[in-house]
Each structure stands twice: as C-alpha cells, then as structure tokens.
Amino acid sequence: MRDTRAHTRKPGLRLWLSGGWISLLVLAALLAPWISPHDPLAQDLFAGRMPPFWETGADPNYWLGTDSLGRDVLSRILHGARLALSVALIAGVLTCLIGATLGLIAGYYGGWADLVISRLVDIWMAFPPVLFAILLIAVLGTGMTSIIIAIVVIDWTRFARVIRAEAMSQGKMDYVASAQVVGRTRFGTALTEILPNVLPTIVALLTLEMGIAIIVEAILSFVNLSISTDAPTWGGMIAEGRTSVHQAWWVLVFPLVALFFTVLSFSQLGEGLKDHFDPVLR
C-alpha cells in the first residue's frame, strides 16, 4: 500500500512542479513586451556589467544586472524565452506528426513499409545530430525557419523508432485481433485501437522533444548560427557570459539556470503525463 501511494503521489508532484514552471515561462514569454523592465536591445555603456539588485553597487532598475553593453539581463531572458518556446512548440509538433505517423505505419502495417522506413531511420541516425544541424543551417542560412527545419529533419527518427516498437507490441494484443474479427479495417484499427494506446508515449516524446529543440536552438545561437546576433537568445547570452564570467557571473548564470529548468521541466512533464494517462497504469 505504501509503494502504491508513493507511486501515485510522485507523478502528481512532478506534473505540478514541471507544469508550473512551464506555465510561468509561457506566461512571461507572452507578456514579455509589457513586463520587461527595459528594451532588450537598448544599450547603455555607462551601465555595463551592473550586478543584480542584492549586490553592492547595483542599480535597482536592473533586477538581474546588465551585460557588458549595458543591456538588461532580465529583459533579454524574457524575450529569449519567446524564441525558445516558439521553436520548441513548432519544431516539436512537426517532428511528432512526421515521426509518429511513419512509426505507426512501420510498426502496425509491417512488410515493405516497415523495411523502407526502418532502413531510412538507420541511415538518418548514422549522421551526428549536432554536426548535421550545423550543416543544414549553413546550407539554409540562419533564421528561425531554418532552425525549425533542421530540428525536424534530424529528430523525426526518434519518434519513428520508438512508436514503431510500441505499435508492433500493441499490434499483437488480443484487442487488435478482436477489432479485426468484427470487420474493422486496418486503418480504422490503427486509428481507434493502436493510436490511443501509444498516445501516452507520443506525449512523453513530444515534451521531451520540445526540451531538445530548446537545447538545439541554444547550441546554434551559442555558435552564432541562430537568428541575428543582436537578438536576445539564451545561447547567445551564455556565449557572451562565458567570456566575462569572472567580471559579471550573472550574465552567464541566469540564462543558464533558465535553460536548465526549462529543459528539465519538459522532460519531467512528459514522464508525468505518461504515467498519468497510461491506460496500463490506470
């Protein structure tokens, strides 16, 4: 009884904490133009490297301090969240649709469809993902659209491989055979029987992919392959803060903390949703 109660409490707590952070971040990103204390692009060289408000010599107008060009760190984090979450949502959903559809087809229908899709996945996964992303960005050019395309092209294989295995497992269940006995088509069986049972896995992968998309965008902006170098991005702020960490540690630490908690929250949210909606666990 004690283990069961601990199991039921853990997903709930995980959902509340991760969902709370993501909800707060989404709200802050949506309201960034109105709640940001300063223009994230405005420079004030006389206010360069101001420390956070609790340290000696701080300016209370800059709650989390400023960078070397006098730009407000808090405002840049808030506006950077807009880009990070936009990339995560669009790239994650597109990757999910493409990869999960191909995985479902390969796992349930089998035959030549499974052979072609599986070989394509094996070939695709042979390329190092980060180097592949940088190569695609170099070909397509920088910009948000190029980042999304690069993430989708690289990461659809993760969905395809996992959902294929899940669909193959579900396809051997008795309820699938029963649906076919009563005359349901294979497409109808896949849509109404297989898909609902692999949906918890899809949701977990989707939230995990959104966290991965944020990391990829941060890596690309870290090496100046994201959007404009002046635009506020978490990766760009980390790259700048790395060069001045001994003089202005806050320029590196605050965007790094935001990135860490966001990626961790997406990961934990996916696991919590999977445990909560999994029909076997229920």
Cα 132 from Cα 125, distance rounded (Å): 10
Place of tokens 């407000």: 72
Q: What is the pLDDT of residues 185-240, one digit of tens each?
A: 777 777 777 888 888 888 888 998 999 999 988 988 888 887 766 788 999 899 98
Q: Across the chain, what does the average pLDDT equal?
A: 84
Place of tokens 């692999």: 198
Q: 28 is written with which tokens? A: 């802050």
Which band of pLDDT confidence, cut at 50, 70 and 90, is reported for residue 7?
Answer: very low
**152 contacts 206 by C-beta, under 8 angstroms:** no
User: Tell me, what's the pLDDT at 262?
Assistant: 95
Q: What is the pLDDT of residues 33-90, one digit of tens each?
A: 999 999 998 888 888 888 998 888 888 889 999 998 889 999 999 999 999 999 999 9
Each domain of the chain, given as residue ranges in start order, spans 2-40+47-277
All residues at 6 or more sequence positions from 113 whose CB lies less than 8 Å from its CB, including other chains: 105, 106
177: left (phi over 0), alpha (psi -120 to 50) or beta: alpha
Q: Write out 160-227 in H/E/C secondary structure.
A: HHHHHHHHHHHHCCHHHHHHHHCCCCHHHHHHHHHHHHHHHHHHHHHHHHHHHHHHHHHHHHHCCCCC
All residues at 6 or more sequence positions from 142 whose CB lies less than 8 Å from its CB, including other chains: 225, 226, 227, 228
Taking residues 152-158, report their average pLDDT: 88
Cα 207 from Cα 93, distance rounded (Å): 9
Tell me the one-letter amino acid at 226.
S
Residue among 111, 207, 92, 100 at smallest CA distance from 160: 100
Q: What is the pLDDT of residues 123-132, one digit of tens each?
A: 888 888 777 8
Residue 159 has pLDDT above 80, yes or no: yes
Tell me the one-letter amino acid at 37.
P
Q: What is the pLDDT of residues 21-35, one digit of tens each?
A: 999 999 999 999 999
Q: What whole-number percentage of the chain has pLDDT above 90? A: 30
CA Rg value for the chain: 22
CATH class belonging to 2-40+47-277:
mainly alpha
Which band of pLDDT confidence, cut at 50, 70 and 90, is reported for residue 8?
Answer: very low
Cα 269 from Cα 21, distance rounded (Å): 10
